[in-house]
Amino acid sequence: MKKFSNILNESVDIEEIEDYFLNINDVLGEPNKKTMGSGGFIVYEFIWTTDINIYQYNDVSKIDKILIFFNSIKELKTSQIRINNYDIEFKISGLTLSARVTPKGKSESNKYKFFINQDWRETRLKYSEIIRFFKDKGYSVVDIDEDVNEYSDSSSLTIYTNAKLDINSEFATLLEDEFEKNAEKIDREFSIRAADTYISINPISEKTYITVVKQ
């Protein structure tokens, strides 16, 4: 069997790439696959559920599973250095392992549409467009945190990146401009603030939600 790194250099077929997740599948089962984006920029996300909780002690009987699990990640990590067409990024959180596969290089369009719609009290942003913006700038979204405040019946959003302040500020400005252009569709206001490692989006009033939709 060819190594995962070799097939990526030969093919851009995501189905062939999936074949090289088989070692992980053998341990964790079939992943939940999400396909997001359009045109020349498609984001693929694979999510496996595991019975190994990284936030607590685990029984030693799971050591073999852990070794296979991390050896698979090691192979994929090594392969990423030589991949021509894709970036592969990983996240381990609680009981899940996630792999995100995104095209390398700048996308064809430099126009972004982050805003999807407002559904009653919920303003919805498009995940793949946020990812595309930062990829075009040579950076990544490393996490997105939605914080629900039950007392005020609202939620805020924090987008964590490995980008510099000027790139995060550019994103914040583009999002603010898009909110203004869609003012007739949005009857809720938000405060958007950029920092070195994140962008925070907070509702001005109660009973207002801001969410990211994976599409």
Of 24 and 161, the structure prediction assigns the larger pLDDT to 161
Query: Is 60 exceeded by the pLDDT of residue 6?
Result: no
Average pLDDT over residues 185-193: 90
Q: How confident is the model at residue 160 (pLDDT cuts 50, 70, 90)?
A: very high
203 and 193 Cβ atoms separated by less than 8 Å? no
Query: Is 50 exceeded by the pLDDT of residue 118?
Result: yes
Average pLDDT over residues 68-97: 75
**Among the listed ranges 64-73, 103-112, 193-202, which one has the minimum average pLDDT value?**
64-73
pLDDT value, residue 83:
60
pLDDT value, residue 82:
53
pLDDT value, residue 109:
85
pLDDT value, residue 80:
59
139 and 169 Cβ atoms separated by less than 8 Å? no
Query: Is 80 exceeded by the pLDDT of residue 173?
Result: yes
Query: Is 70 exceeded by the pLDDT of residue 81?
Result: no
Please report, as a single letter, which amino acid is at residue 109. Answer: S
C-alpha dihedral (23, 24, 29, 31), degrees to nearest 10: -130
**Percent of the chain beyond pLDDT 70?**
88
**Among the listed ranges 24-28, 142-146, 166-170, 172-176, which one has the minimum average pLDDT value?**
24-28
Average pLDDT over residues 81-100: 80
pLDDT value, residue 10:
45
Query: Is 80 exceeded by the pLDDT of residue 73?
Result: no
Of 24 and 66, the structure prediction assigns the larger pLDDT to 24
Query: Is 80 exceeded by the pLDDT of residue 202?
Result: yes
Query: Is 70 exceeded by the pLDDT of residue 190?
Result: yes
- DSSP states of the chain as a string? ---HHHHHHH---HHHHHHTTHHHHHHH-SPEEEEEEETTEEEEEEEEE-S--TTS---GGGHHHHHHHHHHHHHHHHHHTT-SSEEEEEEEETTEEEEEEEE-S--S------EEEEETTEEEEEHHHHHHHHHHTT--EEEEEEEEETTTTEEEEEEEES--HHHHHHHHHHHHHHHHHTTTT----EEEEE-SSEEEEEESSSS-EEEEE--
Of 96 and 16, the structure prediction assigns the larger pLDDT to 96
Domain borders along the chain are 4-103, 115-213
100 and 14 Cβ atoms separated by less than 8 Å? no
